[in-house]
Amino acid sequence: MTEPRVNILLVDDEPTNLLALEATLESLGQNLVRANSGTEALRQVLDNDFAVILLDIQMPGLNGIETAAAIRERERSRHIPIIFLTGMDKTQETMFQGYSAGAVDYLVKPIQTDVLLAKVGVFIELAQARQRLHQEIEERTKTAVEISLLNQALADKNRELELRSAELQDTIQELERYSYSISHDMRAPLRAMKGYSDVLIEEASGNLNEEHRGFLHKISSASMRLDRLIEDVLSYSLLSRSKFKLKPIDTDELIREIIDQYPGFQQPQVDIHIEGKLPVVWANEATLTQCISNLLGNAIKFVPKGTQPRIVLRADVRDKEATIWVGDNGIGIAPNDLERIFGIFVKVHSAESYAGTGIGLSIVRRAAEKMGGHVGVESALGNGSRFWLKLKTP
């Protein structure tokens, strides 16, 4: 960085003295400003900043001492160092006057070039250092202002985002409430469809031909399917909205209870084997029950026609995390579908081959996440699947 040029003020009523000073100081490469009287010097310091003032004491009009005093009185020029130039006749008294008027130094005429250069040089460096400091402070202030502006903008953006996300949250909640109540209201007419077709099946089957009886059964089973779909949508949306506390749940006990309660999970429909003892995990009982039931139901559903589903349940615990494995002898899952099957309404089989709502596994995923866990699957086509559910252990 090249040093900025600084101003040096030379004050003397004798043009030859000024000329001599200029000749000497020129080599320093700074701006030399002349003033031939105290008044002129005062005018100069009014408009410009100086690294140092060389001030002759004996001048007509305002003398050097008076000029220095006036310079000191002004806020703008108070800090400018003044070197008095004086004849051999300087007395203790003028020295004292000079210092109290703000002189920092004296030079006695005839002035010695090297002494002058050395002393002025010090003040040039000082002024340059001060300028650098000012620049730095200015830059830092500018940076600080910029940062605070950026921070302000960031805070504004943040507020905007918070507002938007709150709005979105509201919209989502409204939509979920809406879908919940719609699903809820759809069940009444559906119950009527199913109920009346069942009444007809029971009481009027004799009056119908084979084909028409079939239609009636189709109405009944279609309304049942729609009802299951609605029930699953309700579960999913309720799960999304609900908040619950986690408690230590003994999965061994819970899973045995689930199997005991549903004939669909018992012999001869399915062969479920629990390997070893299953652990205690952090969970919500109802939600975990839903998870396990859906995983078991899923394992039972996707077997080749005519095969008895075989399910093996086991668990391992590592680093305060339990992994519960649900292995089956089902049809397996293609690599491309491994991630997809947890999405809502995703079915990778035709409705004819494997009936389902496409929500069961999304419920499992949502439920697992709500309990601070994860769910996933390992599988290969034709080789069965091993679903895993990871939950924290107490």
Which residues contact another protein (rule: CB under 8 A)? 184, 187-188, 191-192, 194-196, 199, 231, 234-235, 238
CB closer to another protein, 7 vs 357? 357
- Phi and psi, residue 32, nearest 5°: -100, 125
Least distance (Å) between residue 166 CB and another protein: 25
Kindly tell me which of 128 and 179 has the beta carbon lying closer to another protein: 179
Q: In terms of Cα–Cα distance, which of 340, 347, 348, 346 is closest to 376?
A: 340
Distance in Å, CB of 326 to another protein, minimum:
24
At closest approach, how far in Å is the CB of 171 from another protein? 22
Q: Is 216 or 274 the residue whose CB approaches another protein more closely? A: 216
Per DSSP bridges, beta strands 52-56 and 103-108 are unpaired
Closer residue to another protein in complex, CB, 201/312: 201
Q: What is the 3-state secondary structure (H, E, C) of the chain?
A: CCCCCCEEEEECCCHHHHHHHHHHHHHHCCEEEEECCHHHHHHHHHHCCCCEEEEECCCCCCCHHHHHHHHHHCCCCCCCCEEEEECCCCCHHHHHHHHHHCEEEEEECCCCHHHHHHHHHHHHHHHHHHHHHHHHHHHHHHHHHHHHHHHHHHHHHHHHHHHHHHHHHHHHHHHHHHHHHHHHHHHHHHHHHHHHHHHHHHHHHHHCCHHHHHHHHHHHHHHHHHHHHHHHHHHHHHHHHCCCCCEEEEHHHHHHHHHHHCHHHCCCCCEEEECCCCCEEEECHHHHHHHHHHHHHHHHHCCCCCCCCEEEEEEEEECCEEEEEEEECCCCCCHHHCCHHHCCCCCCCCCCCCCCCCCHHHHHHHHHHHCCCEEEEEECCCCCEEEEEEEECC
Q: Nearer to another protein by C-beta: 107 or 226?
A: 226
- The nearest distance, CB 187 to another protein, in angstroms, is 5
The residue type found at 304 is P
The residue (of 147 and 199) whose beta carbon lies closer to another protein is: 199
Counting every residue, how long is the chain? 394
Min separation Cβ 233 and another protein, Å? 10
Rounded to a whole number of angstroms, the minimum distance from the CB of residue 328 to another protein is 27
Pick 187 or 213: Cβ nearer another protein: 187
Nearer to another protein, 290 or 329 (CB): 290
Closest separation between CB of residue 222 and another protein, Å? Answer: 16
Amino acid present at 39: T
**Measured from the CB of residue 343, what is the shortest distance to another protein in angstroms?**
21
- Residue 238 CB, nearest approach to another protein (Å): 5
The smaller minimum CB distance to another protein, of residues 129 and 199, is found at 199
